[in-house]
Amino acid sequence: MAERFYYPSDEVLAQANVPEYEQRYRYSIEQREAFWAEQAATLAWYQPWDKVLDDSNKPFYQWFTGGKINIIHNAIDRHLTGATRNKLAIIWESEKGQVRSFSYHALNREVCQFANVLKSMGVQKGDIVTIYMPQIPELAFAMLACAKIGAAHSVVYGGFSVEALAARIEDADSRVLVTADGGFRRGKPTDLKSIANEAMQRSPSIEVCITVRNNGLEVQMESERDFWYHDLQSLPIASPRCDTEVMDAEDRLFILYTSGTTGKPKGLVHTHGGYAVYTATTHRMAFDIKPEDRWWCAADPGWITGHSYMIYGPLINASTLIMYEGAPNYPYPSRWWQMVEKYGVTILYTSPTAIRGLMRFGDRWSARYDLSSLRLLGSVGEPINPEAWRWYYEVIGGSRCPIIDTWWQTETGGFMICPLPITPLKPGSATKPFFGNEIGVVDDAGNEVPVGEEGKLVVKNPWPGMARTIFGDPQRYAELYWGDYADKGYYKAGDSAKIDEDGYVWIIGRMDEVLKVSGYRLGTAEIESALVSHPAVTEAAAIGLPHELKGTGIHTYVLLRSGLIGDKHLETELKEHVARELGRIATPESVQFVESLPKTRSGKIMRRVLRARALGQDEGDLSTLEE
Ligand code: WT7
């Protein structure tokens, strides 16, 4: 932790949107509501709010109550006058090199058309539309069209598979699914529609499925249920004019499922008002957004990073955003760097896994391209190791671009701990709280642990971007996040962390049974239930172990049905089974066949013991172990 600081250059300091931190931070926590009211006032409201924060029903906080807004009115409608109208909103490039770009004017047209299509399918305010797509412009159009007419979207990451999709459709009780024939990955077509078809069989609530033609794969369409996107868009019903629905600030914008401690994914609910204010403010301040920026968030829209910082925050701030569907190193490890030069990208925001993955090919790939347009870099999803940080900083950023390491979660909606471009940096630390937030590292009683010691990361206050509830399970929301420190009103993040003598926060990792594999969030319980769904398996345990590229790799322990013998063949089959059920990202590194699993007397698997054994470490307190 005794790191040297990396200081911002004079140029970075001179152009900072926020030239000073400490004083402004103090103001933002002493007068939290005034601070957020000022930020909210930069957006367009149909009707101003009565109350900035309503905390009368903790922990179900509400923001900007009485206010009328629609996030689309801010992300699109208000940009349709003046010069922004013809500014590029989205530049999309496919793996094969196809380019499509949309001005704000064109984006509006596409969104209006699809909004009208959704309406014609009976989608109404309050409905939840499930979206399962590759990273193509239509994915953004579908999300934005839902929001425009007041329907909520539930985007399921296109890398997920049948079981994950089916479980999410079922939980949301979605009537409408928007999907595509498939995408491309490393030059090969991927197949989404047949996965969608299988998921619809498992969860039959879907009455209408709209499919985008993207990779040309042959697909099975069921009459009455299945429609082609392009067919619908060319009908008179798909008029390019559509009114934006006036929403209450607290109305639901989307639900996004994330993994937790049980096998059942949690649908976190975000709203039109507070979420718009929070994503726009954090994006503008932490990344010093300027009108001429070319912003590239190289995440997938299927995750919260894609929602907040690929789509909503940047569009509200009228940025030009880059979208790329494909592998970072296809056909060569220079793909991203070529795109940075080609589009004059000014800010690149990605994950430590992607950085490590590209770093391993060495410096010569980026050296061929002119990366001088870059002025800021960002990192998200997992702690960034100092080696990757330095490579990103020196080789990609030319020792010129501050690295904005942003700590946040699906639940927080936006950045909670992150530097501003003016903040002196320490590689591996997300530095300090964003405005309005008080962060603590505490013990079980909620008391601060001494400087430099590990404890539980908490947020001591509500913030506008916070998830409002877990869809269909408010009780679980209250208990899981706000229950441990209810007397103090702290939000428990589920991470462990340290704060050093300079007040810098160092995230250590998850404390629950959540794994961050290549920055993706997966629950051990989901992996275990996928394994157990295979006929050969009676019990399974999954743990995370350090992995050089992925940060964490999945390792599994499997008890077979009696009489079966675990061999190489079955190992491969089980790995493939998990990939088929959950998605490729969930593929285990190893499957070990065991005779028994370490359990507590109440029958809970002691993953801690498995982890210690695998790492050759002390197994710790075994007094609760059954045998
Ligand atoms: C978990 C949340 C935030 C969008 C993507 C992930 C880990 C996230 C950082 C960071 C260290 C980080 C935490 C957190 N995490 N950002 N900058 N440094 N760890 O969202 O899938 O909801 O995962 O990701 O463990 O709890 P998510």
DSSP character at residue 157: -
- Measured in Å, residue 460 CA sits from the centre of ligand 1 at 18
Q: Provide the 10 A C-beta neighbour count for residue 538.
A: 14
Pocket lining: 266 vs ligand 1, CB cutoff 6 Å? no
Mutate to test the pocket of ligand 1, among 409, 429, 513, 517 (most ligand atoms within 8 A of CB): 409
Q: Give me 215's structure tokens.
A: 């990779």
Helices (H), 44-103: 71-75
Q: What ipTM is given for this predicted complex?
A: 0.98
Nearest CA to ligand 1 atom 21: 521
Mutate to test the pocket of ligand 1, among 311, 351, 389, 516 (most ligand atoms within 8 A of CB): 516
Q: Closest by alpha carbon to 168, among 128, 138, 127?
A: 128
Pocket lining: 317 vs ligand 1, CB cutoff 6 Å? no
Q: Closest by alpha carbon to 462, among 105, 36, 133?
A: 36
Q: Give me 525's structure tokens.
A: 């319980």
Let me know: does 180 contact 191? Beta carbons within 8 Å. Answer: no
Specify the amino acid at residue 540.
Answer: A
pLDDT at 1: 47
Q: How far apart are CA 584 and CA 126, in angstroms?
A: 32
DSSP character at residue 363: S
Q: How far apart are CA 308 and CA 479, in angstroms?
A: 25
Pocket lining: 409 vs ligand 1, CB cutoff 6 Å? yes
- Measured in Å, residue 406 CA sits from the centre of ligand 1 at 8
pLDDT at 406: 98
Nearest CA to ligand 1 atom 14: 409
- Measured in Å, residue 412 CA sits from the centre of ligand 1 at 10
Q: Closest by alpha carbon to 371, among 394, 354, 396?
A: 396
**Ligand 1: nearest atom to the Cα of 410:** 22
pLDDT at 91: 98
- Measured in Å, residue 562 CA sits from the centre of ligand 1 at 40
Pocket lining: 356 vs ligand 1, CB cutoff 6 Å? no
Q: Closest by alpha carbon to 466, among 82, 64, 183?
A: 64
- Measured in Å, residue 411 CA sits from the centre of ligand 1 at 10
List for the chain the helix, strand, coil content (%; round to 5).
30, 25, 45
- Measured in Å, residue 180 CA sits from the centre of ligand 1 at 28
The string of pLDDT tens digits covering residues 306-346 is 999 999 999 999 999 999 999 999 999 999 999 999 999 99
Specify the amino acid at residue 621.
Answer: D
Give, for 178, the enclosing helix (H) or strand (E). Answer: strand 176-180
Nearest CA to ligand 1 atom 1: 409
Pocket lining: 430 vs ligand 1, CB cutoff 6 Å? yes
Q: Give φ, ψ of 324 to 5 degrees.
A: -130, 125
Pocket lining: 407 vs ligand 1, CB cutoff 6 Å? yes
- Measured in Å, residue 153 CA sits from the centre of ligand 1 at 22
User: By three-state DSSP, how is residue 396 classified?
Assistant: helix
Mutate to test the pocket of ligand 1, among 380, 492, 498 (most ligand atoms within 8 A of CB): 380
- Measured in Å, residue 23 CA sits from the centre of ligand 1 at 27
User: What residues does 459 pair with on adjacent strands?
Assistant: 439, 491
Sequence-distant (≥ 6) Cβ neighbours of residue 177 within 8 angstroms:
129, 130, 131, 132, 169, 196, 200, 206, 208, 209, 210
Mutate to test the pocket of ligand 1, among 312, 377, 384, 507 (most ligand atoms within 8 A of CB): 507
Give me the sheet containing 590-593, strands edge to edge. Answer: 537-547, 551-560, 590-593
- Measured in Å, residue 212 CA sits from the centre of ligand 1 at 31
- This prediction has a pTM of 0.95
pLDDT at 3: 62
**Ligand 1: nearest atom to the Cα of 411:** 22
Nearest CA to ligand 1 atom 13: 382
DSSP character at residue 431: B
- Measured in Å, residue 492 CA sits from the centre of ligand 1 at 14
Pocket lining: 381 vs ligand 1, CB cutoff 6 Å? yes
In this structure, are strands 491-499 and 505-510 parallel, antiparallel, or unpaired? Answer: antiparallel
Nearest CA to ligand 1 atom 27: 409
- Measured in Å, residue 404 CA sits from the centre of ligand 1 at 14
Pocket lining: 510 vs ligand 1, CB cutoff 6 Å? yes
- Measured in Å, residue 621 CA sits from the centre of ligand 1 at 29
Nearest CA to ligand 1 atom 17: 407
Parts of the chain with a pLDDT under 50: 1-2
